[in-house]
Structure formats: structure tokens, C-alpha cells
């Protein structure tokens, strides 16, 4: 989980939010990869701890995009602004971690 842990730090530093972001890997149902919610003025991202690293990374990027687009996706949490945020986060991940 070396890359995953580095990614958590990278996202918090590179894409700071209005509220602090807390990321936790926890035991969840096998059919559940993760979620994000705003709790008492902080974002809580939960990632299933049984996921292999590459799936945990994808899930983290997905859930962090919810933090980025939170104010603009009130009715539909996968609105176009979320899609743009997810794309931006994913491109940043690829550039920072996979470009040689």
C-alpha cells in the first residue's frame, strides 16, 4: 500500500478542500468499495480494507472527487462537475506517480 499512502498525502496537499479530509481503510461489505460523506465540518472517506492496492487507489480518486465537487453536485453526486473533478484527479495521479 505504499503508493496508496503516498497518494493520500499528495491529494491532501495538491487539492486542499474547504474542510479537512480524513481517509480511513476499514472493514466493509465485500460488495462495497468505499464512500464519502461530510461530517461535522470534515470529509470522511472510507475505503474497504480488503481491496487490492490498485482498486483502493481508483476508489480513493473516485471518492476524493466527491469532496472536490461537493458544492456543485447537490442533487446528483455523480454530476458533470464530479466527472471533471475525477478526470483531473486521475490525470494528476498518472502524471505524478506513473510518468517516468
Q: What is the pLDDT along the chain (100 residues), one digit of tens a residue?
A: 899 999 999 999 999 999 999 999 999 988 899 999 999 999 999 999 999 999 999 999 999 999 999 988 877 789 999 999 999 999 999 999 987 5
Q: Match domain 2-98 to its CATH number in 3.30.110, 3.30.2010, 3.40.50, 1.10.357.
A: 3.30.2010
Does this model's pTM top 0.85? My answer is: yes
Retrieve residue 28's grid coordinates.
Answer: 466493509
- 89 Cβ contact list (under 8 Å, min separation 6): 11, 15, 61, 64, 65, 68
Amino acid at each position: 500500500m505504499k503508493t496508496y499512502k503516498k497518494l493520500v498525502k499528495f491529494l491532501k496537499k495538491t487539492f486542499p478542500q474547504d474542510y479537512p479530509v480524513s481517509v480511513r481503510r476499514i472493514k466493509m461489505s465485500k460488495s462495497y468499495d468505499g464512500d464519502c460523506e461530510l461530517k461535522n465540518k470534515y470529509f470522511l472517506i472510507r475505503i474497504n480494507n480488503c481491496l487490492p492496492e490498485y482498486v483502493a487507489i481508483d476508489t480513493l480518486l473516485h471518492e476524493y472527487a466527491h469532496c472536490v465537487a461537493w458544492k456543485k453536485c447537490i442533487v446528483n453526486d455523480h454530476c458533470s462537475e464530479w466527472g471533471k473533478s475525477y478526470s483531473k484527479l486521475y490525470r494528476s495521479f498518472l502524471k505524478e506517480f506513473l510518468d517516468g
